[in-house]
Every structure is written in structure tokens, then in C-alpha cells.
């Protein structure tokens, strides 16, 4: 699947800043949140690209930029040969048919006062595709496709469990036969046994309908399972981007190694054997990100160079052409980071905003 | 004497929809300095059973016994319980933001708890101890951060502050209810690391409640798996992970995307957790169980010892399932034993189809 070089979405040096404004009448911009800070990524047709990272790393903002929910600050997003970064309003409508989103919270993303049939059928109305009996037939087909009972057409979301609501969200996303589905933490809110049901469903639908997924999650084992390629984000930038197995077997960025070592393992012996790389401190504030490499205050390998020069996302020595790492001193195969601690002391990066 | 001994705890809530049987008979013991993991899905009764011990389930109908150092917690008056809560038994909740008061400084909240239980401590002394505690749980510059409000802390720091608070009076038992579920993987590693270290240092007993078997794999001494308000399997951690007997435990382990990275299809547990108002007859798991037999529907299986590797009953490993006692483990050999038992146990073909039909709208029906 990943051999196909047919690119569906090309994200080219995209920036997304959120201004922080202050003032009563004349609102001045006093700072900005660097949510996505120069990200380039290619999504190929039919593949699943996983994006992992901690909260606040910009992965959800990036997803919203791809779906056009956030206008981007700078850069270019090309979808299926068309530059969509400057389209507004009506011109975006055909694009919205091709890109759909599945949200994290199956409780918050469905209107509690509307019936399931109406929720799933809305896209048909909005795009004027089907109405009346035809709409009902199509909605029931979709419900069947995602494993819901079509007889529950007239029920309210409150009558369904979390896993079933996530299926409703999936049916709604599939209604217009999109080319790309952006899944923003689709299984994080579900119980472990239900998670597996939804993941299997997403995989089956991909095989059946030839969908392309951008799959965002903080759970590394889920991302490894579903993704062909994985991008690791840290503070608005991509730290490492590689084929799934390659990234998990041979991580080069110290942050990736730390993330992998922190993942929970359901095997007592393996869990005892592994050496956790415990990172010190928290993710710095994206309002005033650290200079140079953004990971340097928490990195066990940081040197002076890392404070001044931001590393490029390029192929590092000995890696395959598809394995990109943004690190001056990538992790070598036999290296043990667990015994090292951050060499450069972490300073608080919480900015002091002028008081109103 | 065990530190905590819970005997046949039953908790139910009378609601307008009917009686919610949240916990239907749970027994466990916690020894000093040991860790008990309680695992289950939402609605399995794992949180309710521990909250009841501390008198946090107002309006519940409670039955059973919970002996903490020989005293029954469930029979205590509010005043007696207040003296134990925080001082002898501390609790760490899942959501650190809503368990800290937003309008009081973090340090003050810790100091207040110290002074509540130890009236001879002055305000200045309590504050000093709060600073020490914050430093101990790894908050940088505790002298300054002690005067911060909870919203000025990050998620991980808030959970650290909660841990500092729970340790403030050197309790004998800490109940941690999903302490890392709301946190990122790297912060989760920090917090688990911290809890393990502090537990060794202070010899505190710990009850870890979680829905993720991965979190407690290197933490728990014993693990109790709950389903539908009842324990279904109870064993030491190695037996539980390597030789699960109950199909639910096996299903939980199998539905975790393999950390081996094998891209074989995931094996979910079909269907939904049961409604606690209208529980299935017999074994509560039978509508979702792939090994369901005739007797599972009318008869509820008791917790009974599972055979160890040498074929002798292992009293430390119990499971509530009618499958043969030697059917423990994940190997193909054990799978054969299960299948044979199921073939014998099913007299009619009808049962399998009724069990299937209840899950058809949620399971793998496509």
C-alpha cells in the first residue's frame, strides 16, 4: 500500500498561529500560540498515516488545518491536485465532500436532541444528494455498514453506548463517500474491549472503500497497529517521520525513544525488563517555544548546538530514504538513554504576559 | 492481620429506573506495603467498591464488611471516618483538576489537610511541610509553586500535587483511581515511577484502579478483574497475565493491540458491558462469551481455585467460570481444552444463536 507514490494530500511548510489578544476596545496581539510551526507531510492514497504526540503538540490543530476547519497562517495544503489553503466559503464545499472527520468524544460530537437518522442523513441534505425515502434507505445502508441495527434509525444518541456512538460518528463521516477521513483520537474515550471493535471496523472500511486515513492518537500501540507510516510531533514540529515498523523498531529521535519506552506493556516480564526513559518536566509552552531544537530542555542527548540551531527533518546517516529525523545527534542502535538525564537544565518557558 | 480486608461487599443505588447493582459481592485483602490492581471496564464496579470504603457513595445501599486494621469502615460514623480519611487511607482521583479546589492555593490545600488532622501543627509548620512534599514529588521550585493556584499547574503537576497531598499524613493505604488515565504517556511514566518509588520508601499499601492492563503490569502484586459488579478473576500478576482462566480476562488481554506489532486482526470482545439494572442471568459475561455453555445461563459460577502448571489447585488464583480448572493460559493446547469443554457443555445448538443475537447490533455483525 505504502509503495504507491500517488499523493492525496500534500502539506507544505504549514504554519498555524493563534493570536492572544488583550485590550478593551483596541485589541492588540500580545503573543501567539505556535500550534503548528512549519510542518511538511505527504499523505498517499489508500494509506494510513499516524500522528502521535503529547497533548499540546499541535496534532489536533494540524488535523483541523487539513480538513479546512482552521484557516492556516502560512504555507500550502494541496488536496488531490487542488490548492485548498486559500479557498473560502462556497468554494470549499466540494472539498468538504471529500474530507471528513471522526472526533474523539462520542458524547460531545452528536447533537443529543436529534435522531440518529437525522444526524447521519444531514450530509445528504447539505449537499443536496438524497432526500425522503432515498435518504432513509442510504442512511440505513450506512448504519448496517458500521454494524448498527438499521431499525434504530429513530433513536436518540443517548440511547446508545460509547462504542455505538462512535459508530454513528463513523457512519456520518462515510455518508458522502469521502476520499480522506481524519480520525482525531477516535478510540481514546472507549473501553479497551470496545476499542478493538472500532479499530477493526475502521480497518475493514478502509479495505472495502479504499479510504485514506490520517489517524491521530496518543496511544502508541493503537497507532502502530493501524498505521503504514507514523509522524511524531513535538511542540508544533515533526520530530520524526518513518514507516510504522521502522519507527518502532529503530527510533532515531530521542523523543521518539522516550515516548516508546513510556508506553504501557501488558506483560509483566517485558514491563520489568524495559528501561523507561523518564523525561524530566512537562512539555514547554507553545507560546514561547525553546530556541533551537524544541526538545533540548528535556533531551538526555542535548548539546550546545541544540540550543542554537533547529535541526532539519532529513534522512540521517544509515537510514532508509523514507525515514526522516529532526535531530543533530540521532539515537544509535545500542545506545541506552535510560541512564542519562537531561544535561541542560529546564527553565520555565511559561511567558509572563503583561497584565491587562 | 491484613491491612484491609473486604468481605462480600455489596453496593446498590435506588434510582427511578430501578435498582442499580453496582457491586454484587466483592472480597479482597490488601497487605501492608503491597499493591492490588483492580481492572475492569466502565460500569464494572471498580471505582464504586473503593469509594464505598471511604464513605464517598452517599445514598447507596451497602452490605458487607470492610475491616481496616480490624475496624469495620462500613459501620463507622461520619466523624470516625473523617479521622481515617486522608490520615490512614488517602485517595488519588482520576481528574486532578476537579479534585483540587480552584480558588485556593495548592500549598494551602495541602497545609489545610495537615492541620485538620494534626491540630498542634502551626500554619507556618504546615506550609513548610507542604513545600517539602511538593519538592519530594518532583515539582521544581516548590518554594514558589506552593503559592500557585491549581490552574497554574500543568496536568502532570496537578497529579503530583494530589500525590503530595495523599502522602502528607503518611497514610497506610493509598487508593489511586485511574491516576494516569488523563495524562500523556511520558507524564504517565513519570507519575507511575514516582508512585512506585514513594511506595517503596514509605511502605504504603496501594490499590490501583485502572481499565488498562498495561498500566499495572509492572506495578501490581495481585490483580483483581471485575465485570458487572463482581470479581471474575483474582490472581498474582504473573498468573493473571500469562495464565488467564476467565474468558473475560483473556479477552481483555487479547484486545490490546500487540506491542509486538503483529498486524493480525484484533480480537475484540463482542457486545457491550451489561446494564447493572437488568443483569444477564447466570454468569453476567455469558452474552459476550465465546465459550458459553448451557449451565452458564441459569447458574452463576463461584470464584474457585484454578489449577497451576503442575495440575494442583492454586488457592491464590481464583476464577468465576465453569470452564475446567486446567483451562488457564493462552496456548493452543489450553484452547483445545476449552473447545472440548464447550463442545461437551453445549447440548443444543440454539444457545449459541441466542447468545449471538444479543450482540448482533454491536459486535462484528456486518
A186/A104 Cα distance (integer angstroms)? 5
Q: For residue A263, what is the nearest residue in chain B, using CA coordinates?
A: B185
Mark whether B55 and B177 lie in a shared domain: yes
Higher pLDDT, B237 or B353: B237
Mark whether B36 and B155 lie in a shared domain: yes
3-state secondary structure of A281: coil
Question: Can you give the pLDDT at residue B271?
Answer: 84
Which residue bears the cell 537510514?
Answer: A319
State mean pLDDT over A111-132: 90
Mark whether B28 and B92 lie in a shared domain: yes
Question: Can you give the pLDDT at residue B12?
Answer: 93
Cell (9 digits) for B3? 491491612
Higher pLDDT, B114 or A3: B114
- The helix (H) or strand (E) run that includes residue A29 is strand A28-44
B212: which chain A residues are within 8 Å (Cβ-Cβ)? 192, 264
User: B301-337: per-residue pLDDT in tens?
Assistant: 999 999 988 888 888 999 999 999 888 888 888 888 8
Question: Can you give the pLDDT at residue A5?
Answer: 57
Q: Has residue A317 got a pLDDT over 90?
A: no
Mark whether B96 and B172 lie in a shared domain: yes
Q: Has residue B352 got a pLDDT over 60?
A: no
User: B26-71: per-residue pLDDT in tens?
Assistant: 999 999 999 999 998 888 888 899 999 988 888 889 999 999 999 9
| Domain contains B321 | yes
Long-range contacts of B296-299 (CB under 8 A, 24+ apart): B296/B322, B296/B345, B297/B351
| Domain contains B163 | yes
For strands A180-184 and A99-102, give the pairing. Answer: parallel
Q: Has residue A130 got a pLDDT over 60?
A: yes
| Domain contains B245 | no
Which residue bears the cell 488523563?
Answer: B182
Domain of B127 in residue numbering reads as 4-224
Mark whether B61 and B140 lie in a shared domain: yes
Long-range contacts of B10-15 (CB under 8 A, 24+ apart): B10/B61, B10/B62, B10/B63, B10/B64, B11/B45, B11/B48, B11/B49, B11/B52, B11/B57, B11/B60, B11/B61, B11/B62, B11/B63, B12/B60, B12/B61, B13/B57, B13/B59, B13/B60, B13/B61, B14/B59, B14/B61, B15/B277
Contact present, B223 and B39 (Cβ < 8 Å): yes
A224/A31 Cα distance (integer angstroms)? 36
Total beta-carbon pairs less than 8 A apart between chain A and chain B: 153
Q: Does B214 touch chain A (CB under 8 A)?
A: yes
Using CA atoms, how far residue B349 sits from A77, B291, B346, B356, in Å, is 57, 13, 7, 11
Question: Can you give the pLDDT at residue B362?
Answer: 39
CB contact under 8 A, B364 and A224: no
State mean pLDDT over B179-192: 80
Dihedral pair phi/psi, residue A21, rounded to 5°: -110, 150
Question: Can you give the pLDDT at residue A142?
Answer: 93
Question: Can you give the pLDDT at residue B263?
Answer: 65
Mark whether B219 and B286 lie in a shared domain: no
Mark whether B41 and B187 lie in a shared domain: yes
| Domain contains B230 | no
pLDDT > 90 fraction of chain A, expressed in percent and rounded: 40
Cell (9 digits) for A232? 511524531
Question: Can you give the pLDDT at residue A238?
Answer: 94
Contact present, B219 and B304 (Cβ < 8 Å): no
Q: Which of A85-89, A159-163, B95-99 has the highest mean pLDDT?
A: A159-163
Residues A78-96 as b/e (b if ≥16 CB within 10 A, e otherwise) read bbeeeebbebeeeeeeeeb
State mean pLDDT over A176-197: 87
Q: Does A159 touch chain B (CB under 8 A)?
A: no
Question: Can you give the pLDDT at residue B219?
Answer: 86
B 167-186 residues inside an 8 A Cβ radius of A: 184-186
Beta-carbon count within 10 A of B237 CB: 20
Q: For residue B358, what is the nearest residue in chain A, using CA coordinates?
A: A149
CB contact under 8 A, A282 and B272: no
CB contact under 8 A, A147 and B190: no
Mark whether B217 and B315 lie in a shared domain: no
User: A214-223: per-residue pLDDT in tens?
Assistant: 999 888 888 8
Question: Can you give the pLDDT at residue A231?
Answer: 94
Question: Can you give the pLDDT at residue A349?
Answer: 44
| Domain contains B290 | yes
Q: For residue B237, what is the nearest residue in chain A, using CA coordinates?
A: A268
CA B341 from centre of chain:
31
B187: which chain A residues are within 8 Å (Cβ-Cβ)? 54, 282
Closest Cβ–Cβ partner in A192, A197, A203 for B252: A192
Mark whether B345 and B287 lie in a shared domain: yes
Contact present, A195 and A162 (Cβ < 8 Å): no
Residues shown for chain A: 356
Please tell me what DSSP assigns to residue A150.
G
Q: Has residue B351 got a pLDDT over 60?
A: no
State mean pLDDT over A59-78: 90
B 194-213 residues inside an 8 A Cβ radius of A: 211-213
User: B232-273: per-residue pLDDT in tens?
Assistant: 999 999 999 999 999 999 998 888 876 555 567 788 888 888
Residue A354: exposed, middle, or buried by beta-carbon count in 10 A (0-12, 13-18, 19+)? exposed
3-state secondary structure of B208: strand
| Domain contains B323 | yes
3-state secondary structure of B69: coil
Contact present, A143 and A120 (Cβ < 8 Å): yes
**Average pLDDT taken over every residue of chain B:** 86
- What value does the CA radius of gyration of chain B take, rounded to a whole number of Å? 22
State mean pLDDT over A34-41: 92
Contact present, B285 and B275 (Cβ < 8 Å): no
Interface test with A, best of B186, B265, B268 (most A CBs within 10 A): B186
| Domain contains B123 | yes
Closest Cβ–Cβ partner in A149, A197, A258 for B186: A258
Mark whether B166 and B315 lie in a shared domain: no
Residue A42: exposed, middle, or buried by beta-carbon count in 10 A (0-12, 13-18, 19+)? middle
Using CA atoms, how far residue A93 sits from A8, A70, A129, in Å, is 18, 15, 13
| Domain contains B22 | yes
Q: Has residue A146 got a pLDDT over 60?
A: yes
CB contact under 8 A, B361 and A222: no
Q: Has residue B96 got a pLDDT over 90?
A: no
Q: How many domains does chain B have?
A: 2
Which residue bears the cell 489536533?
Answer: A60
Using CA atoms, how far residue A105 sits from A134, A169, B50, in Å, is 30, 10, 27
Mark whether B297 and B198 lie in a shared domain: no
Question: Can you give the pLDDT at residue B360?
Answer: 37
Question: Can you give the pLDDT at residue A339?
Answer: 61
CATH number of the domain residue B57 falls in: 3.40.50.300
Mark whether B202 and B67 lie in a shared domain: yes
Question: Can you give the pLDDT at residue A115?
Answer: 93
Confidence of residue B222 (pLDDT cuts 50, 70, 90): very high
Interface test with B, best of A197, A254, A350 (most B CBs within 10 A): A197
Amino acid at each position: 500500500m505504502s509503495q504507491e507514490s500517488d499523493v492525496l494530500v500534500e502539506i507544505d511548510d504549514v504554519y498555524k498561529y493563534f493570536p492572544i489578544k488583550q485590550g478593551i476596545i483596541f485589541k492588540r496581539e500580545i503573543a501567539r500560540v505556535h500550534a503548528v510551526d512549519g510542518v511538511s507531510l505527504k499523505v498517499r492514497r489508500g494509506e494510513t498515516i499516524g500522528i502521535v504526540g503529547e497533548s499540546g503538540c499541535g496534532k489536533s490543530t494540524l488535523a483541523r488545518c487539513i480538513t479546512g476547519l482552521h484557516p492556516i497562517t502560512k504555507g500550502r495544503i494541496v488536496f488531490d491536485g487542488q490548492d485548498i489553503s486559500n479557498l473560502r466559503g462556497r468554494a470549499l464545499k466540494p472539498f468538504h465532500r471529500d474530507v471528513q472527520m471522526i472526533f474523539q468524544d462520542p458524547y460531545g460530537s452528536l447533537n443529543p436532541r436529534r435522531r440518529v437518522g437525522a444526524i447521519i442523513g444531514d450530509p445528504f441534505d447539505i449537499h443536496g444528494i438524497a432526500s425522503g425515502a432515498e435518504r432513509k434507505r442510504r442512511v440505513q445502508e450506512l448504519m448496517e455498514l458500521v454494524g448498527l441495527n438499521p431499525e434504530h434509525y429513530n433513536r436518540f444518541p443517548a440511547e446508545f453506548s460509547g462504542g455505538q456512538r462512535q459508530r454513528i460518528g463513523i457512519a456520518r463521516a462515510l455518508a458522502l463517500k469521502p476520499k480522506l477521513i481524519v480520525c482525531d483520537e477516535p478510540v481514546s474515550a472507549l473501553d479497551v474491549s470496545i476499542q478493538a471493535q472500532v479499530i477493526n471496523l475502521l480497518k475493514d472500511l478502509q479495505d472495502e472503500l479504499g479510504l485514506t486515513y490520517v489517524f491521530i492518537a496518543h496511544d502508541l500501540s493503537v497507532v502502530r497497529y493501524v498505521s503504514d507510516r507514523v509522524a511524531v510531533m513535538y511542540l508544533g514540529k515533526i520530530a520524526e517521520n518513518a514507516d510504522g515498523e521502522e519507527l518502532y523498531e529503530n527510533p532515531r529521535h530521542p523523543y521518539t525513544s522516550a515516548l516508546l519506552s513510556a508506553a504501557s506493556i501488558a506483560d509483566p516480564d517485558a514491563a520489568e525488563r524495559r528501561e523507561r526513559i523518564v523525561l524530566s518536566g512537562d512539555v514547554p509552552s507553545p507560546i514561547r517555544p525553546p530556541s533551537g531544537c524544541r526538545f533540548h530542555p528535556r533531551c538526555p542527548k542535548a548539546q550546545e548546538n541544540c540550543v542554537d540551531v533547529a535541526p532539519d527533518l532529513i534522512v540521517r546517516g544509515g537510514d532508509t530514504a523514507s525515514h526522516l529525523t529532526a535531530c543533530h545527534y540521532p539515537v544509535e542502535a545500542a545506545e541506552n538513554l535510560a541512564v542519562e538525564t537531561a544535561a541542560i537544565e529546564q527553565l520555565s518557558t511559561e511567558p509572563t504576559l503583561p497584565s491587562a | 492481620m491484613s491491612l484491609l480486608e473486604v468481605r462480600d461487599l455489596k453496593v446498590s443505588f435506588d434510582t427511578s429506573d430501578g435498582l442499580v447493582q453496582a457491586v454484587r459481592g466483592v472480597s479482597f485483602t490488601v497487605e501492608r506495603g503491597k499493591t492490588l490492581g483492580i481492572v475492569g471496564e466502565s460500569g464494572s464496579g471498580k471505582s464504586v467498591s473503593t469509594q464505598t470504603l471511604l464513605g464517598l457513595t452517599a445514598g447507596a445501599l451497602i452490605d458487607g464488611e470492610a475491616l481496616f486494621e480490624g475496624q469495620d469502615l462500613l459501620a463507622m460514623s461520619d466523624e470516625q471516618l473523617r479521622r481515617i480519611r486522608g490520615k490512614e487511607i488517602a485517595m488519588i482521583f482520576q481528574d486532578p483538576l476537579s479534585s483540587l479546589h480552584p480558588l485556593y492555593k495548592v500549598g494551602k490545600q495541602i497545609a489545610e489537610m495537615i492541620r485538620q488532622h494534626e491540630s498542634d501543627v502551626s500554619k507556618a509548620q504546615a506550609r513548610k511541610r507542604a513545600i517539602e512534599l511538593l519538592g519530594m514529588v518532583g515539582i521544581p521550585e516548590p518554594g514558589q509553586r506552593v503559592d500557585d493556584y491549581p490552574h497554574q499547574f500543568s496536568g502532570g503537576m496537578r497529579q503530583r500535587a494530589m500525590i503530595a497531598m495523599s502522602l502528607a499524613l503518611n497514610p497506610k493505604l493509598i487508593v489511586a483511581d485511574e491516576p494516569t488515565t488523563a495524562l500523556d504517556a511520558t507524564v504517565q511514566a513519570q507519575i507511575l515511577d514516582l508512585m512506585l518509588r514513594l511506595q517503596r520508601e514509605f511502605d504504603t499499601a496501594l490499590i490501583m484502579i485502572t481499565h488498562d492492563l498495561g498500566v499495572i503490569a509492572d506495578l501490581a502484586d495481585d490483580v483483581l478483574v471485575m465485570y458487572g459488579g463482581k470479581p471474575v478473576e483474582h490472581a498474582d500478576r504473573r498468573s493473571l497475565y500469562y495464565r488467564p482462566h476467565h474468558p473475560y480476562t483473556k479477552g481483555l488481554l487479547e484486545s490490546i493491540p500487540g506491542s509486538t506489532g503483529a498486524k493480525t486482526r484484533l480480537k475484540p470482545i463482542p457486545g457491550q458491558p451489561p446494564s447493572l439494572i437488568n443483569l444477564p442471568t447466570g454468569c453476567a459475561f455469558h452474552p459476550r462469551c465465546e465459550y458459553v455453555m448451557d449451565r452458564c445461563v441459569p447458574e452463576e459460577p463461584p470464584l474457585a481455585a484454578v489449577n497451576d502448571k503442575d495440575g494442583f489447585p492454586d488457592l491464590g488464583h481464583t476464577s468465576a467460570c465453569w470452564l475446567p480448572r486446567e483451562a488457564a493460559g493462552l496456548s493452543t493446547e489450553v484452547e483445545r481444552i476449552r473447545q472440548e469443554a464447550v463442545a461437551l457443555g453445549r447440548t443444543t445448538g440454539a444457545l449459541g444463536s441466542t447468545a449471538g443475537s444479543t450482540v448482533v447490533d454491536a459486535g462484528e455483525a456486518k
